[in-house]
């Protein structure tokens, strides 16, 4: 995943259900900073990580065969 990146936002606190946005950053204090297009303008929102689900619009590239994650 790359930041900034196009995401869909699901957050019941703001009644967002698949809202298109751009993820700008993730703060150490537990907030996503997103930019949301609303009525022709771009608005910044800070959404709590604990109450928000995001998914990136672009799929991850296919992994090479034999790729392993170190644990």
For 52-67, write each residue's pLDDT tens digit.
999 998 887 777 777 7
Give the residue, 68 or 13, on which the prediction is more confident: 13
The pLDDT of residue 27: 95
pLDDT in tens, 1-56: 678 999 999 999 989 999 999 999 999 999 999 999 989 999 999 999 999 999 99
* pLDDT in the model for residue 7: 96
* 6: nearest Cα among 27, 29, 37, 28: 37
C-alpha–C-alpha distance, residues 33 and 6, integer Å: 12
Please give the pLDDT value at position 65: 76
């Amino acid at each position: 995943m790359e930041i900034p990146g196009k995401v869909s936002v699901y957050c019941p606190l703001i009644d967002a259900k698949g809202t298109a946005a751009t993820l700008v950053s993730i703060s150490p204090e537990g907030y996503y900073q997103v930019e949301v297009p609303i009525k022709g303008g771009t608005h910044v929102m800070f959404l709590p990580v604990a109450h928000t689900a995001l998914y990136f619009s672009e799929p991850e590239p296919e992994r090479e065969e034999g790729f392993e994650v170190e644990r």
